[in-house]
Structure 1
Amino acid sequence: MTEYGGRRTQAERDAITVEIGYALCSAVFAAALVFGAVAGPAFAFDLSDAARGTLVGSGATVAAVVFFARVVSVLMRFRRPDQPSQPGRTNPDS
């Protein structure tokens, strides 16, 4: 991103768009996996209606939490600066 609040270049806008798309797609995939793991037994086995409702409700709730957590974690990681806080200095371990 540009410094001091300047306008973003087309490449920066494209990078943001790609990152948002990646965040959403990976979040949908992760949420679907979690929902399938939690609610899957409700459809695979002959369970009572109460047990089936509990598993599906829990699966939907956990999947929603995973979705939002994944989106936030990907987008926050994208915002981290690529350069050290003090230009010209390197990590002492390097």
Structure 2
Amino acid sequence: MSGRTTAERDAVTVEIGYAFVTGCLAAALVFAAGCAVAWLLPLPGRAAGNAVVVAGTVLAGVVFVVRVVRVLWRFGRRGPGAGPGAKTGTGGEGGQPSVEA
């Protein structure tokens, strides 16, 4: 058992999902750009077009891996619970913000 709370495990799960989805979107954009080049530009021969599509596929895979690693690396460095929605500066009891009169 790890010493993580449910909120920390949920934060890791959400971050993994975010990394995967944004990695897929970035890879799809790179692949579409590569295919657009192959389809729209008059390339000499079918082999040249296929080479551009293969290069776009490889580049899309690299972009996906780089995006996922970068998102998860940044999340690991700041730690779960340190994101934009993290509660900080709560001064009341039970984690509630203190209200000054």
Q: TM-score, normalised by structure 2?
A: 0.70
Structure 1 equivalent of residue 78 of structure 2: 81
Q: Give, in whole Å, the separation in 2 of the partners of 1:21 and 1:57.
A: 27
User: How many pairs were matched up?
Assistant: 79
Structure 1 equivalent of residue 62 of structure 2: 65
Conserved in 2, the CA contact under 8 Å of 1:39 and 1:58? no
Structure 2 equivalent of residue 17 of structure 1: 13
CA RMSD of aligned residues (A): 1.9
Deviations 1:14-50 (A, max 9, x none): 0000000000000000001111112212123454211
Structure 2 equivalent of residue 41 of structure 1: 37
Q: Give, in whole Å, the separation in 2 of the partners of 1:43 and 1:21.
A: 32
Amino acid at match of 2:68: V
- How much does 1:6 deviate? 5.0
Identity of aligned residues (%): 49
Q: Is the radius of gyration larger for structure 1 or structure 2?
A: 2
Structure 2 gap segments, 5+ residues each: 83-101
Which 4+ residue blocks in structure 1 deviate beyond 2 angstroms?
A: 43-48
**Tell me, what secondary structure is at the counterpart of 1:80?**
helix
Q: TM-score, normalised by structure 1?
A: 0.75
2:48 to 46, 51, 55: 51
**Tell me, what secondary structure is at the counterpart of 2:78?**
coil
Q: Give, in whole Å, the separation in 1 of the partners of 2:78 and 2:71.
A: 14
